[in-house]
Amino acid sequence: MLKSLAVEWLPSILAANPLDLRNAVEKVVRSEIKQIHLDIMDGHFVPNISFGPQIAESMHEVYSSLFLDVHLMLARPDDFIDPFLEAGAGRIILHAELSKRIVTRSLKRLRDAACLTGLAINPETNVDVLFPYLEDWAIDRVLIMSVHPGFSGQEFITSVLPKVKMLKMRYPNVMLCMDGGINSETAAQSFDYGARALVVGASFFQGLSFEKV
């Protein structure tokens, strides 16, 4: 079973039935996974729109012990940091492809708020874009997209795996998280290359069971 792998599991609510989010979150709680991943999309940075701070706030109010891992796939994440902090985000992840001005402004706000902070890169992005931020800021983790961001259910892009290995060698103390196309096979591959956190979507909500028997 997937749950036997010694990694942090982060079910992505994007893969759940949008008309049945309450039961989807209940499934996470029953599985004894302590955190949930929220993909926030604006239709500009990625070609899809998901949901906003209100969903995060509702989850936090009802399931206060569930850690909210918020992935901002937004052209202007700096405009939404405060609303998600107020909604109960435990960690906010930004994309390193954005301009240095936007990223540094966002990182400063997160630092001032003492919020855990992550940086993400898309499959086609070179890892060296991360280096200045990893060396100058307190980054909790790096999220490597193993699909093109925007839609759940895509196939895993194996060419991103060397990025994980490279980052593991250069920054051994930074948590590395893989996001996209995770199933039993790709989870094992990601673990072998150094990922110790995995965002799991369709295989959690629509396929393999994580629930205790």
Residue 213 domain-assigned? no
Q: One of 20, 39, 136, 192 is an active-site residue; which one?
A: 39
Residue 210 domain-assigned? no
Quick: pLDDT tens for 24-60: 999 999 989 999 999 999 999 999 999 999 999 999 9
Quick: pLDDT tens for 95-150: 999 999 999 999 999 999 999 999 999 999 999 999 999 999 999 999 999 999 87
Domain that holds residue 113: 2-205
- 42 annotated active-site: no
Residue 211 domain-assigned? no
Give whole-number Cα distances, 61 to 32, 69, 111, 150, in Å. 18, 15, 24, 27
Residue 180 domain-assigned? yes
> What is the CATH number for 82?
3.20.20.70
| Pairing state between β 8-11 and 175-179 | unpaired
Quick: pLDDT tens for 77-106: 999 999 999 999 999 999 999 999 999 999
Cβ atoms within 10 A of the Cβ of 182, count?
28
Residue 181 domain-assigned? yes
pLDDT value, residue 210: 55
> Domain count of the chain?
1
Q: Structure pTM?
A: 0.94
Quick: pLDDT tens for 55-70: 999 999 999 999 999 9
Residue 46 domain-assigned? yes
Q: One of 20, 78, 179, 192 is an active-site residue; which one?
A: 179
- 78 annotated active-site: no
